[in-house]
Structure 1
Amino acid sequence: MPIYQAGSLNTSALTAPDLYVQVVAPKTTYINGVATDGLGLVGIASWGPVNSPFLIGSASDQALYIGSQQNRKYDLATAVAISLQLGATNLNCVRVTDGTDVAASIPLKDVASTPVTGATLTAIYSGTTGNTIQAMIAAGTAVGTYKLTIYLPGQTAEVFDNITGTGATFWANLVSAVNNGQTSVRSASNLAVATIGTSTALPSTVLTYTMTGGTDGATTITDTTLIGTDGNSTTRTGMYALRGTNSQVINLVGLTTTTLWPAVNTFAKSEGSYAISQFTAGTTYASAATLLNTAGVDSWNFKAMVGDWVYWLDSVNGLTRMVEPATFEAANIAARSPSISTLNKAISTIVSTQRNLANQPYSLSEIGGINSARLDVITNPCPGGNYFGCRSGRNTSSVASQNDDTYTRMTNYLSLTLAASFGGVVGQNQTSELRRETKSTIESFLQALEDQGMIGDPNSGASFSVTLDSTNNPDSQVALGYMQADVAVKYLNVVRYFLINLEGGGSVSITVSNSAS
């Protein structure tokens, strides 16, 4: 009794009488939506890989990959710290440099009267954090062996114990342990790489080595560096290194050059992302409106923040710093469901803004002007109270039905989810059963969104419809290999203007119903 997976048995070629069992997959399948909390950050750092995206989800990850925040423009660690504070914990980070970055290093010496280098340790990444890495060689646990310890402050020390050998053999074994790890004991170093020297003597066990010479390569960084260049997975730099990381929100830390915004917008469109940027500090909303129009960015994939920058308490450096508003808004968006607008939502950790610090709150007409100019701003108060929050919740699109944050987020979310879920349909025969299964799967997904309150019609209408039958798949189209599904989804609309009609006075007649309804 042979058993086959459905589709692997050629039933028209059977010759031997027998019982054949075909295992058929369930007809109805279910899909999950893609993650919507991916936040892509591009900036400078004192540690970590260059032009290669890496994931940070906690403060310990930050310390391990990029080091502590510094009071400087384009600082990636600052953006990470703020993002983590605001609840964004799926951070795809790209470190950029100006090409002058250097990895710290230190030679390990022997006991000769004129010490000779037995091996050189070089930090695995460039940057000034490498200048804090220390190393020491001591007696090993086993008799006649040595132990190498490599330590980065704040991290668990790496210990390579029981390194055997004398003279040049010992140094070769040390290099192998650092670069390849010790079988079944520990892996290769995550802090340094080792290269062999020329010593044939025993190592010194009294010296503590500290690496030197590491530089960040951040002296001549510009906004253009953040953009980078496109290419393949090994040649992309800057923003383009975020390709394929599912970063649904993008923040190029500190970018203010509006002439670069079209390139950012084009990239965001191609990735199904929402790019957030801002004008230079102090740029008024009137000037910002003119600059936005000149830049030619009219897109629901791009959001522009007025140049009213934010003050933030940097507890690591012990000062209150002025930070670009896009860093706060990008994290604010990424931390929320795609169906939730950031309009009128409190943003914690903000000390003040430039306008608030100058005691110049926005008037209602100014807020109206910001909205009309396709801009957004962080300020205090908000309609809901005396807290800092966004007063627009808009992208830069001039199309009224597409200019809300939630339109961008939900459209990208649905598009990316559908694109990631039905690749298996390609290559199958188009049958009524395939159409039914595909339609059912899409409807099940959309029904789940309705049940979660992410889509819907407050007037009790239908939330979605899926058409996948002969009406939109005529024979002429099917014969060419096409199968088409038409999906319509009704998003929830954000309340922007709440009108209360108040009738008051001694002559007002009030009728109260006793009915339960």
Structure 2
Amino acid sequence: MPIYPAGNLNTAALQAPDLYIQIVPPKTRYINGVATDILGLVGVASWGAVNSPMLIGSPDDARLKLGTQQVRKYDLASAAAISIQLGASNIRAVRVTDGTDTAATATLVDSAGTPATGVTLTAYYTGSLGNSLSAVLAAGTAVNSFKLTVTLPGVQPEVFDNLTGSGTALWQAIVSAINNGQSGLRGPSQLVIATIGSSSAAPPASQTATFTGGTDGTTTITDATLIGQDGSTGPNRKGMYALRGTGAQVANLIDLTDSTQWPTMVTYGLSEGCYMVTQGSAGAAYTTVSTALNTSGSDSYALKVMVGDWVYWQDQPNQKQRMMAPATFEAARIASLAPHQTPLNKAMLAAVATQRTLAQQPYSIAEIGAINAARLDVITNPCPGGNYFGARSGLNCSSNPTVNGDNYTRMTNFISLTLAASFGFVVGQLQTIDLRRTTKNTIETFLQNLEDQGMIGNPNGGKSFSVQLDAANNPDSRVALGYMQADVQVKYLSVVRYFLINLEAGQSVSVVVSNTPRT
């Protein structure tokens, strides 16, 4: 009684009389949507890997992986703090440098009259945070042993205990423990890297090594550095392109205002299904930003541009109220929302003022209308829903009114990326009626789930989606060439932008009440 996976047995060429079992996978397939809350941030930091996306999910993550918040342009730690406050807690942070970043170092020396270096310790990452590291070599728990303790403020100390040996053997034991860990006790250090020195003498009974020389590499950072460069493989990618493959559906290149970079951001956003959010320079009027947008030719649903009315934020660690780029707030708010929602008229609790509100120059309805017409957005207070800070347009940069809503960008990327991630199994299969039916049913089930969750729909009745996958759109001439085509239509729910109430009131009004319910 042989058993075969379905497709492995040629059922038209059996020879030996027997019972044959084929394991057939379930024909009903279900797919789950891809994550839409991943926010990509690109900027500078005082710690962490360079041009490599780091997962940030909490303030502790940000402190451990990026270092402390710095009052400077392009600062990743500050943008991460704002994003987390606004509910974006699934961040991929990419640190960039100008190439001059260095790692802090320290030395452990012997007890000779002219001390020689036994071990050189180098901070695991480049950056000024490494200057806060320290290493203490003292007596270990066991007799005639040493213990090395590496500390960084706010981080659990790393302890390598019971290090034994004499002279060179001891120094080698220290290097091995740091770089390779101690079997069954602790893993390799995540704070420092050790290299052997020239000493063959014993260390003193106790010594403390202080780290110096760590730099962030931010002196010549420009907006172009945040864009970076593309490459065929991960290690060759820098800046924005390091976000490829991370699943980030919203991206903020922190403090970028150079409009000549916007077309490149559009190209990336379209290729990756990522909503790129940026802004005009601080204080730039909407007319100035509109001119820059038109000049750049960035007419696309993949880009969102904020007016240069920057936002004030209370930086608690630095005890300072700072003026921050509006895209940092907007991108985080968008990422924190479900894809069918819009940031329009949604509260941004992290904002305490903007340049215009601080100057007591509120926007008029005419100005808000002009900002909308210019394909821009702005954060201000009040909003239609009350006295809070929020976005006032909810638009991307497309001039096509049927695709210029934030929700269009988000839902289109969500659905397309979900389908792209779910149907690779079809390639290599034989195009049969069963395959067509299974694929069609799977797509329809996914879209029905979206309708049931209130993410798509038709408020006036009627179908909210259709899927065609049959002989009508797959003629023999195409099937013979290996093509299988599914035509999918989805109706998004519309965002209410204008609520009009017709009020007829007065002493002479005749009120007629209908008993027939209306929908």
> Measured at CA, do residues 277 and 15 of structure 1 come closer, stay the same or move farther in structure 2, by a change above 3 Å?
same
SS of the aligned residue for 2:82 comes to helix
Trace 1:412-491 onto structure 2 (pairs within 5 A). 412-491=413-492
* Whole-Å separation in 2 of the counterparts to 1:421 and 1:330: 27
Instruction: Tell me the alpha carbon deviations over residues 304-362 of structure 1, each in whole angstroms, 9 at most, x when there is no partner.
Output: 00000000000010010000000000000000000000000000111100000000000
Query: Separation in 1 of the partners of 2:31 and 2:205?
Result: 59
Q: RMSD of aligned C-alpha atoms?
A: 1.0
What's the counterpart of residue 106 of structure 2?
106
Match of 2:83 in 1: 83
Q: Distance in 2 between matches of 1:516 and 1:498?
A: 22
The answer to whether structure 1 residue 126 and structure 2 residue 158 are counterparts is no
Deviation above 6 Å: which 4+ runs of structure 1? none
Task: Give the CA deviation at 1:33.
Answer: 0.5
Q: CA deviation at 1:515?
A: 6.5
Deviations, residues 481-508 of structure 1 (Å, cap 9, x unaligned): 0000000000000000000010101111
- Secondary structure of the 1:275 match is strand
**Which residue of the partner structure matches residue 358 of structure 2?**
357
Go from structure 1 to structure 2 and tell me whether the alpha carbon gap of 1:73 and 1:112 turns closer, same or farther (over 3 Å shift).
same
8 Å contact from structure 2 (residues 283, 310) kept in 1: yes
Output aligned runs, 1:258-407, within 5 Å.
258-407=259-408
- Between the aligned partners of 1:2 and 1:380, the Cα distance in structure 2 is 73
Deviations for 1:364-403, whole angstroms, at most 9, x for unmatched residues? 0000000000000000000000000000000000001010
SS in 2 for 1:234: helix
Contact in 1 for aligned 2:141/2:162 (Cα 8 Å)? yes
Deviations 1:139-194 (CA, angstroms, capped at 9, x unpaired): 22222221111111101111111112111001001101111111121111101100
Q: What is residue 185 of structure 1 aligned with on the other side?
A: 185
TM-score, normalization: structure 2?
0.98
SS at match of 1:11: coil
Q: Match of 2:210?
A: 210
State the alpha-carbon separation in 2 of the partners of residues 228 and 265 from structure 1. 14
1:492 and 1:325 map into 2 onto residues whose CA distance is 27
| Corresponding residue of 2:245 | 244
* Partners of 2:139 and 2:206 within 8 A in 1: no
User: What CA deviation, in whole Å up to 9, does each residue of 1:261-314 have, x standing for no partner?
Assistant: 111111111111000000000000111111110111100000000000000000
Q: Is the 8 A contact 1:136 1:205 kept in 2?
A: no
Q: CA deviation at 1:516?
A: 7.3
Structure-2 separation of matches of 1:513 and 1:441: 44
3-state SS, counterpart of residue 388 of structure 2: coil
Q: Specify every segment of 5 or more residues in structure 2 that has no aligned partner in the other structure, as ranges.
A: none
Superposition deviation, residue 19 in structure 1: 1.0
Distance 1:101 1:269 in 2: 32
Does structure 2 conserve the Cα–Cα contact (< 8 Å) formed by 1:248 and 1:273? yes
What is the one-letter code of the residue matched to 2:174? L
**2:300–2:399 CA contact under 8 A, matched in 1:** yes
Tell me the distance in 2 between the aligned counterparts of 1:430 and 1:51. 43
Matched residue of 2:148: which SS?
strand
Amino acid at match of 1:216: D
- Residue 148 of structure 2 corresponds to residue 148 of structure 1: yes
Q: Distance in 2 between matches of 1:146 and 1:10?
A: 68
Is 1:68 the counterpart of 2:68? The answer is: yes
Does residue 1:93 correspond to 2:56, yes or no? no
Question: 1:14 and 1:119 mapped to 2: Cα distance?
Answer: 70
Tell me which moved more, 139-148 or 207-216: 139-148
Name the % identity.
Answer: 65
Evaluate the alpha carbon distance shift between residue 421 and residue 516 of structure 1 in structure 2; reply closer, same or farther with a 3 A threshold: closer
How much has 1:513 moved relative to structure 2?
Answer: 4.5
1:196-244 per-position Cα deviation (integer Å, ceiling 9, x unaligned): 0011122234222221100000011111111111112111111111111
Comparing 385-394 and 3-12, the one that deviates more: 3-12
Q: TM-score, normalised by structure 1?
A: 0.99
The answer to whether the aligner puts 1:28 opposite 2:28 as a matched pair is yes
Rate the CA distance shift 1:482–1:67 in 2: closer, same or farther, 3 A. same
Letter aligned with residue 167 of structure 1: G
Please list the CA deviations of residues 16-48 of structure 1 after superposition, one character each: whole Å capped at 9, or x if unmatched: 221111111111110000000111110000000
Letter in 1 for 2:25: A
Structure 1: 5+ residue runs without aligned partners?
A: none
Aligned residues: 517
Query: Distance in 1 between the 2:320 and 2:402 partners?
Result: 43
